[in-house]
Structure 1
Amino acid sequence: MTNPVALDNVLHQDLRVAFRHGAEFGDAANQTLIFPTEFEAVQREFPILFREAEGEGLQAVALTGFDLDENLFFDGERWTSRYIPALQQRGPFSIGIPGDGLDPDEGPTVHVDLDDPRVGTAQGELLFLPQGGASRYLEHVSRVLGRIHGGIGAAAPVYALFQEFGLLESNVIEVTLHDEQRYRIDGFQMLSRDKLAALAPEALERLHRANVLGLAYLVAASLGNISALIERKNAGAVR
């Protein structure tokens, strides 16, 4: 159960929220949903793959491990990567969108889940300054939520162009570790470097004008992180 409420600098003047990660908050999964608005940061750390989600259509994910509940960038308490995907950065916060029972004349608002165990802890960070303004923590959360909000709107058009130009293809990731343990990861689509390189000038121009060509190159570059992921897995296997 969740209990999201709109943040209010009067009602929640003294509310504190702990900046904490954990398996119970979804940080230990081997894949995390991501959005085009964070591709530049994600591609420096994680492979970007695509999956068909029932009722949701095509989604992009950052691959973080090979076993189901394995995140090789999470040590049980904190992420060890330089970038944390936005959905895991947001903590107990979410976006309230006009039309969801809100005043349609207002823009998106920040909501907090009062039933989340990170909310209301004495060790947490204050959300508001004594004068009522947003704390640095809340400003950070607002930026993360803005990235998610923008990414939700951008995702479908971007992925539709990837599909239209045939850049995505089903592929299988086969991994053999130093201890001879083998993994076969399927059910994903990958952006083909070869198909991207073979695009006609007219296609490249259209993708460029739609601000999608750069995103395609970022996704293609991210696939080099699969070898780094294998290295992390091997390092854990030999300890």
Structure 2
Amino acid sequence: MASAPKQPQLPLFFNDLMPLNSKDHKNFRTRSVDSAPWLSKAHAIPLTVDEFVQSQRHFPIVFSSGENPLPLALMGLNEGVNTFVDDAGKVTEAVYIPAYIRRYPFMLAKLQQDATDLSLMFDPTSDAVGEFEEGERLFDDEGNTTDATKRVLEFCQHFEQAAQRTQAFLTELKDNNLLMDGEVAIQREGEEQPFIYRGFKMVDQEKLRELSDEKIIEWHKNGILMLVHAHIYSLELMRTIFARQAQQGKAPQPNAQASA
């Protein structure tokens, strides 16, 4: 081909991706950090279906717009606003932290587009991985993976398995034409016009009620119905998150749009 190949877009939070290996990273360690500046401006966090029940107690769960929607936990309603993290990146209260956040700076990915296996990758710009004096070693003196690396790998593998279950769930929603463009209007006292949030998808409850008894029974048995209800119940938290923004002095201007 005459044109150069396009650089693949990096996932949310990642500035770079590098395969972890014992030759180049023999002296690397992973350490805990008490702040995540990269999280302070993130309002919509990818979510897996394994997390719906826990997350719906804390965040609205919506679906991204576009042809391939993904579940998102809204930690804020407006872009650049995270109501659970301060400007320094410290979590301000006890709240469920989505696995996508806890996985960083590691992930599983293909080294080549045509590869069949996934390799453990990391973001070399992260403060949590590097040649530090403190933290847990990723490789021992012989170059073998340590328990710390094995735990990271196991967590990333579980995340990928949950991502596959999430895709199966979304396929069911799309095959049954249940996703619709979302819109939420929040009327704030003292304002003439409501705040309108769009740019996301949600389950069409009218079409949900029209599903056949056979499908409802099937979804009840395989757990899909529980996930749908968790999503629907969580939408009540839109107003709670809006109120948090107002309390923190981050209230939007009238007619703001959510960009989930």
TM (norm. structure 1) is: 0.77
Q: Distance in 2 between matches of 1:146 and 1:156?
A: 15
Contact 1:49/1:189 (8 A) holds in 2: yes
Partner of 2:170: 159
- Cα distance change, pair 114–101 in 1 and its aligned pair in 2 (3 A): farther
Q: Distance in 1 between matches of 2:210 and 2:160?
A: 33
- Cα distance change, pair 124–158 in 1 and its aligned pair in 2 (3 A): farther
Partner of 1:5: 19
Q: What 5-or-longer segments of structure 2 have no aligned partner?
A: 1-14, 251-260
Q: Which amino acid aligns with 2:107?
A: S
Q: Distance in 2 between matches of 1:34 and 1:191?
A: 16
- Cα distance change, pair 22–66 in 1 and its aligned pair in 2 (3 A): same
Does residue 189 (structure 1) correspond to residue 205 (structure 2)? The answer is no
- Cα distance change, pair 98–119 in 1 and its aligned pair in 2 (3 A): closer
Q: Deviations over 1:189-235 (max 9, x none)?
A: 11244543453311112324554222212212221222321331232
Partner of 1:119: 129
Report the CA distance between 1:44 and its aligned residue.
Answer: 1.9
Partner of 2:54: 41
- Cα distance change, pair 124–57 in 1 and its aligned pair in 2 (3 A): farther
Report the CA distance between 1:123 and its aligned residue.
Answer: 7.0
Contact 2:30/2:130 (8 A) holds in 1: yes
Matches for 1:62-211 after TM superposition, within 5 Å: 62-76=73-87, 77-79=89-91, 80-97=93-110, 108-120=118-130, 122=132, 125-128=135-138, 133-135=146-148, 139=151, 141-178=152-189, 180=191, 183-211=195-223
Contact 1:64/1:73 (8 A) holds in 2: yes
Q: Distance in 2 between matches of 1:174 and 1:81?
A: 28
Question: Tell me, what secondary structure is at the counterpart of 1:58?
Answer: coil
Q: What 5-or-longer segments of structure 1 have no aligned partner?
A: none
- Cα distance change, pair 9–150 in 1 and its aligned pair in 2 (3 A): farther
Consecutive aligned runs of 4 or more in structure 1 exceeding 6 Å deviation: none
Q: Distance in 1 between matches of 2:50 and 2:23?
A: 28
Does residue 60 (structure 1) correspond to residue 74 (structure 2)? The answer is no
Partner of 1:233: 245
Report the CA distance between 1:57 and its aligned residue.
Answer: 1.2
C-alpha RMSD over aligned residues: 3.3
Q: Which amino acid aligns with 1:233?
A: Q
Contact 1:51/1:189 (8 A) holds in 2: yes
The percentage of counterpart residues that share the same residue type is: 19
- Cα distance change, pair 123–19 in 1 and its aligned pair in 2 (3 A): farther
Give 1:22's match in structure 2, choosing from 19, 36, 39: 36
Question: Tell me, what secondary structure is at the counterpart of 1:70?
Answer: coil
- Cα distance change, pair 2–233 in 1 and its aligned pair in 2 (3 A): closer
Question: Tell me, what secondary structure is at the counterpart of 2:146?
Answer: coil
TM (norm. structure 2) is: 0.72
Bigger fraction of residues in strand:
1
- Cα distance change, pair 134–205 in 1 and its aligned pair in 2 (3 A): same
Q: Deviations over 1:148-204 (max 9, x none)?
A: 312332233211211333432222112234564853210211124454345331111
